[in-house]
């Protein structure tokens, strides 16, 4: 059967993608950011999964404001890299896993979570920047990727509790797939940042560090935090952090092994957080 081996959490700041694509990773400003991913790049080489179930948010790229699914699972064979205004990032196309994605859709929907099924979708920096941070700039991504888009852009976002429970349903779905696949679940976005309005530029290091602690050690209690606390404490775009609870909810109930932890301010307008958690075998 398939199993979840690990979860990875990371910010998706678009300027990180631009720094990579434009060869700026050696600049002192960016070295401090990329330094936090050196370990992760080695780790992923030794722990390349068969499939990444990648929880991210679309930034009005694939979905305009005309149709806004709360949870959308990508069931296509491949996903093109979106043009976000400066041309598509020069990164490989994303190859999906339609069989596993369809199985997860079937299992999770029958488990009472009403997903939107998406058979054609372009993917933006929310998905490509986390891949670049871990895999660098390969000719092709080294595994299959199932995109799972969550609405955290247009009010109302899903609650942390809903995301946490959905993570459990995703775990049950993966563990009932009849092929021995190593699956990682990634939670992306965050940490604290606000890009708009009078509080633009907001960063809350104390909140972020406590969030990392609680995500590791007491995710069930963290899941009860209402969305308004995210917005007040971590900024309007800090709400992206609810997506980390989906990945955390897909982990085993036993305490995970913390393989890597990194936190840095700033990257563009955002506090960068990054965790790798392994399930104990
Ligand atoms: C920035 C961060 C984001 O999460 C995003 O989607 C766009 C911009 C930033 O820090 O500039
Ligand atoms: Fe974002």
Domain boundaries, the chain: 3-278
| C-beta of 48 in contact with ligand 1 (< 6 A) | no
pLDDT tens-digit series, residues 26-55: 999 999 999 999 999 999 999 999 999 999
Average of per-residue pLDDT across 8-22: 96
- When pLDDT is cut at 50, 70 and 90, the band that residue 281 belongs to is confident
| C-beta of 15 in contact with ligand 1 (< 6 A) | yes
In a 13 Å sphere around the CA of 182, the CA atoms on its Cβ side amount to 13
For residue 141, whether the previous peptide bond is cis, meaning omega lies within 30 degrees of 0, is no
Torsion of CA 155, 159, 163, 169, to 10 degrees: -110
Q: Pick the atom of ligand 1 nearest to 190's CA.
A: 4
Q: Give the number of the ligand closest to the Cα of residue 56.
A: 2
| Catalytic-residue membership of 193 | yes
**CATH number, span 3-278:** 3.40.830.10
Atom 10 (ligand 1) nearest CA: 269
One DSSP character per residue, 71-86 reads: EEEE-SSEEPBPB-SS
DSSP structural state of residue 8: E
Cα–Cα distance measured from residue 259 to residue 149, given in angstroms and rounded to the nearest whole number: 26
Q: What spacing in Å lies between the alpha carbon of 13 and ligand 1's midpoint?
A: 5
> What do you get for the CA distance between the two ends of the chain, in Å?
15
The contacts of residue 60 (CB under 8 Å, 6+ apart) are 153
Q: Which candidate in 59, 125, 260, 274 is catalytic?
A: 125
The string over 225-245, giving b where at least 16 C-beta atoms fall within 10 Å of a residue's C-beta and e elsewhere, is: bebeebbebbbbbbbbbbbbb
pLDDT tens-digit series, residues 153-206: 999 999 999 999 999 999 999 999 999 999 999 999 999 999 999 999 999 999
Cα–Cα distance measured from residue 249 to residue 13, given in angstroms and rounded to the nearest whole number: 24
Cα–Cα distance measured from residue 183 to residue 178, given in angstroms and rounded to the nearest whole number: 13
pLDDT for res 131: 98
Q: What spacing in Å lies between the alpha carbon of 129 and ligand 1's midpoint?
A: 11
Range list of H helices, 136-241:
160-175, 205-217, 219-222, 227-234
pLDDT tens-digit series, residues 230-241: 999 999 999 999
pLDDT for res 197: 97
Q: What are phi and psi of 116, to 5 degrees?
A: -95, 130
pLDDT for res 10: 98
| Catalytic-residue membership of 125 | yes
pLDDT tens-digit series, residues 158-169: 999 999 999 999
pLDDT for res 86: 86
pTM over 0.95: yes
pLDDT for res 160: 98
């Amino acid at each position: 059967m398939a199993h979840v081996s690990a979860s990875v959490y990371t910010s998706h700041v678009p300027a990180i993608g631009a720094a990579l694509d434009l060869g700026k990773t050696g600049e002192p400003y960016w070295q401090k950011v990329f330094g936090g991913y050196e370990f992760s790049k080695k780790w992923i080489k030794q722990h390349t999964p068969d499939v990444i179930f990648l929880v991210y948010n679309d930034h009005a790229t694939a979905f305009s404001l005309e149709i806004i699914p709360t949870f959308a699972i990508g069931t296509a064979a491949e996903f093109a890299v979106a043009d976000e205004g400066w041309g598509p990032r020069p990164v490989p196309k994303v190859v999906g896993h339609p069989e596993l994605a369809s199985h997860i859709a079937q299992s999770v929907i029958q488990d009472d979570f009403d997903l939107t099924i998406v058979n054609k979708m372009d993917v933006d920096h929310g998905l490509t920047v986390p891949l670049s941070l871990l895999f660098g700039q390969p000719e092709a991504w080294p595994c299959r990727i199932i995109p799972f888009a969550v609405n955290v852009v247009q009010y109302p976002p899903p609650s942390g509790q809903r995301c946490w429970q959905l993570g459990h349903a995703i775990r049950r779905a993966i563990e009932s797939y009849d092929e021995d696949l190593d699956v990682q679940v990634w939670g992306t976005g965050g940490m604290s940042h606000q890009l708009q309005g009078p509080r633009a530029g907001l960063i809350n290091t104390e909140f972020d560090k406590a969030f990392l602690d609680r995500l590791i050690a007491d995710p069930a209690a963290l899941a009860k935090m209402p969305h308004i606390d995210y917005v007040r404490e971590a900024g309007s775009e800090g709400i992206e952090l609810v997506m980390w609870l989906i990945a955390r909810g897909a982990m085993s109930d036993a305490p995970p092994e913390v393989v890597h932890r990194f936190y840095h301010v700033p990257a563009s307008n955002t506090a960068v957080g990054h965790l790798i958690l392994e399930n104990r075998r």
